[in-house]
A = this chain, B = another copy of it.
């Protein structure tokens, strides 16, 4: 007679008898009433337990029930306009599955970040962390849906790779049955190979950088989406990027309003994320920074303050285009009008979230590629397959890489990237 309720679908069960399987997130008593905060993984709801309506022994037991005990709650779902989800449960009965131990580490008071990260497996039960990871799940799906609708094929690159894809530093090394191999930093080169077989492809997987970086934007293990498109040039590449980012952000706003509300995210700036995005060349960005008292020279890389300053000049994500070739990876196509710069762009998110996309047209001429590889000191044997792509049916092609966690952090408006992944791996953390 009690119907199974998922809290996020409460509106389908008004005035019905429902059963909720979940956990006691919090409670407070006021004489003859206990207010239960119940979570079931899909949301949070308040249960109201009246002493005169339930078994007396049960009432007393629930009164002392520790936080995070697992329970089944039976009752009537009632409309309640004071509730953030619009409903509460008038409780008939509670079945206790496991009485949690008394020393639950995460109380509702403030904790330090290290303590919370040590208890990440429990921290993610709290409303904000839960909402962030739900948004991550949605972003994840929207990305795949976008590329599927556009006719892209998912082609996962290998994680274990014989060589570095973007230079030889910052690599985690593995002993592979006696051979030295590395954890992949990017799947891009492999995506170029599959693009020549499938035309439009994307990768989506974990990537690894052994950087000793401690900023709030870096992790050593993170997920990247790397689309690669045959017969697509620099201009079209930017168009795909802005349409793609618009698609993800606008659909996320539509699909996850409650989660954004839990995060108290001001979505004004997200609502403006619509193609086309503004563009500025690297050279003009340097000028703009110099005019505003930044000490920076043409050829220098941007730091966080530079990116933020540039981003703040625009009300949407902004493309910084035509970086110096010297600063960027060997495979980026030089601009025919000025070979000192490349036909590539970084996309900088608003509000200080920094670079979320790096992309470019790729070199499709074999001789130019070989020249660049030689300059970089890359071993030809290991890259023979990559050179083959320029020998047999080379075409102009372009692609980009979007960092999932940076995108999720930006959308959620959170202050550290480690909250945007279930279990972060940073310089000092491989636990839990």
Identify the A interface with B (CB < 8 A): 6, 21-24, 40-42, 68-70, 97-98, 100-101, 104, 119-122, 124-125, 130, 133-134, 136-137, 140-141, 144, 148, 151, 153-162, 172-177, 179, 181, 183, 190, 193-200, 205-206, 208, 210, 212, 220-221, 223, 230-231, 364, 382, 384-386, 388-389, 391-396, 421-425, 427, 430-432
| Bound form: Cα–Cα A137–B120 in Å | 32
Min Cβ gap A419→B in Å is: 13
In the complex, residue of chain B having the shortest beta-carbon distance to the beta carbon of A7 = B199
| Bound form: Cα–Cα A422–B411 in Å | 32
Are A121 and B389 touching (Cβ within 8 A)? yes
Closest CB pairs A-B (n = 10): A41-B199, A385-B432, A121-B193, A70-B393, A68-B393, A68-B392, A41-B198, A158-B423, A124-B197, A100-B392
Complex contacts, A230 vs chain B, CB 8 Å: 21, 41
In the complex, residue of chain B having the shortest beta-carbon distance to the beta carbon of A212 = B177
Complex contacts, A154 vs chain B, CB 8 Å: 136-137, 140-141
Task: For A124, give its contact among B68, B194, B382 (CB under 8 Å).
Answer: B194
| Bound form: Cα–Cα A153–B68 in Å | 20
Are A70 and B148 touching (Cβ within 8 A)? no
A–B Cβ pairs within 8 angstroms, 30 of them: A6-B151, A22-B199, A23-B196, A41-B199, A68-B392, A68-B393, A69-B393, A98-B393, A101-B391, A101-B392, A104-B392, A124-B197, A125-B197, A133-B153, A134-B153, A141-B144, A155-B422, A158-B430, A159-B221, A160-B220, A161-B430, A162-B430, A173-B175, A176-B220, A177-B427, A183-B183, A205-B205, A205-B206, A384-B432, A386-B432
Complex contacts, A422 vs chain B, CB 8 Å: 155-158, 190, 194
Complex contacts, A175 vs chain B, CB 8 Å: 172-173
Complex contacts, A396 vs chain B, CB 8 Å: 97
Are B395 and A70 touching (Cβ within 8 A)? yes
Are B394 and A40 touching (Cβ within 8 A)? no
A100 with B197, Cβ < 8 A, contacts A153-B134, A430-B161 known: no
Min Cβ gap A276→B in Å is: 21
| Bound form: Cα–Cα A199–B392 in Å | 50
Are B388 and A160 touching (Cβ within 8 A)? no
Min Cβ gap A189→B in Å is: 9
| Bound form: Cα–Cα A431–B179 in Å | 12
Are A206 and B159 touching (Cβ within 8 A)? yes
In the complex, residue of chain B having the shortest beta-carbon distance to the beta carbon of A206 = B159
Are B430 and A160 touching (Cβ within 8 A)? yes
Min Cβ gap A170→B in Å is: 12
Are A148 and B159 touching (Cβ within 8 A)? no
Task: For A221, give its contact among B6, B160, B179, B393 (CB under 8 Å).
Answer: B160
Complex contacts, A158 vs chain B, CB 8 Å: 221, 422-425, 430
Min Cβ gap A252→B in Å is: 14
Are B156 and A431 touching (Cβ within 8 A)? no
In the complex, residue of chain B having the shortest beta-carbon distance to the beta carbon of A141 = B148
Are B393 and A193 touching (Cβ within 8 A)? no
Contacts A41-B153, A162-B431 supplied; 20 other A-B pairs, CB < 8 Å: A21-B231, A41-B199, A69-B393, A101-B391, A121-B385, A122-B388, A133-B194, A137-B153, A137-B154, A156-B223, A174-B183, A176-B220, A176-B430, A177-B212, A177-B427, A194-B422, A205-B205, A205-B206, A206-B206, A384-B432
Task: For A423, give its contact among B181, B190, B384 (CB under 8 Å).
Answer: B190
Complex contacts, A120 vs chain B, CB 8 Å: 385
In the complex, residue of chain B having the shortest beta-carbon distance to the beta carbon of A189 = B432
